[in-house]
Amino acid sequence: MLPAPIKHNNSCFVLPDQTCQRLTLAQIKLATNNFDEALVIGRGGFGKVYISLEKFDSVNDIAIKRLDSTSNQGATEFEAEVKLLSKLRHGNLVPLVGYCNEGNEMVLAYEFMPNGTLEDHLHKGAARGLDYLHTGTSTQHGVIHRDVKTSNILLDSNFASRVSDFGLEKVGPINQTRTHVSTLVKGTFGYIDPCYFQSGKLTRKSDVYAFGVVLF
């Protein structure tokens, strides 16, 4: 069977092969109970993501991403994603199971990843751990980790992130006019705050910089 072209206004393209299936809007509405808010599992700049009540292509758990009409993403980005992901299959890529382009609706169906995003685990866990250190384990002192990096953030059995390895930590005042600790520069190259590297003045912002590198 020849692959069906995707059409949107003046746009039309044909998938190079049948590695993902074209879904009808009726199938999508059935799978999402007509885009039921109770099935929303995520939101982003593109729109909403729903957990599917149906399975497609023998995949039991499906996440359905519906492009919002007000999104900055549009037909061009949708077309590019379908074209690319329809060609690719790899164990470390989220597989595209199917797509729908019908009327004004543009929808992508992916295999559902039950443990969420890396941002969920890093930001909600590690950031809270660092905030606890910085704001004080007592009323007078806080802890600056000084070696925040990916290999020092561990995941427990529930994929909650835990900050580890405090060998380079420094205790500093949090409620005094002196807001930095003067110390020899230590840490891991690439994660070290340039201001700290140049001045030797360690602040909580040095940890924040390193955490930004982790997220980047």
pLDDT tens digits along 64-113:
999 887 776 777 778 888 888 887 777 878 888 999 999 889 999 999 98
Q: What is the pLDDT of residue 136?
A: 67
Range in 53-62, 165-174, 189-198 the model is least confident about: 165-174
Would the CA dihedral through 188, 189, 191, 192 be positive or negative? positive
Asked if 108 contacts 78 with a C-beta cutoff of 8 angstroms, the reply is: yes
13-51 pLDDT, tens digit per residue, is 444 445 678 999 999 999 999 999 999 998 877 889 999
Assign a CATH topology to domain 5-111: Phosphorylase Kinase; domain 1 (3.30.200)
Domains 5-111 and 118-215 share a fold: no
Coil, strand or helix at 96: strand
Range in 96-100, 122-126, 174-178, 212-216 the model is least confident about: 174-178
Binned at pLDDT 50, 70 and 90, residue 6 comes out as very low
The domain ranges of the chain are 5-111, 118-215
- Is pLDDT at 125 greater than 60 in this prediction? yes
- Homologous superfamily (CATH) for 118-215: Transferase(Phosphotransferase) domain 1 (1.10.510.10)
Catalytic residue status for 147 = yes
Q: Where are the beta strands (DSSP E) in 134-210?
A: 141-144, 153-155, 161-163, 170-173, 181-182, 201-202
- Is pLDDT at 11 greater than 60 in this prediction? no
Catalytic residue among 147, 156, 165, 193: 147
Asked if 140 contacts 174 with a C-beta cutoff of 8 angstroms, the reply is: yes
- Phi, psi torsion values for 81, nearest 5 degrees: -65, -45
Give me the residue label for tokens 């206004």.
9
Take residue 207 and report the two structure tokens written for it.
Answer: 């940890």
For residues 131 and 11, the model is more confident at 131
The beta-carbon contacts of 68-73 under 8 Å, at least 24 apart in sequence, are: 69/104, 71/45, 71/46, 71/47, 72/45, 73/45, 73/46
Q: Which residues contact 122 (CB under 8 A, 6 or more apart)?
A: 153, 161, 214, 215
Name the H helices within the chain.
25-31, 75-85, 118-121, 127-135, 194-199, 204-215
Q: Where are the beta strands (DSSP E) in 5-145?
A: 5-8, 11-14, 21-22, 40-44, 47-51, 62-67, 96-102, 105-111, 141-144
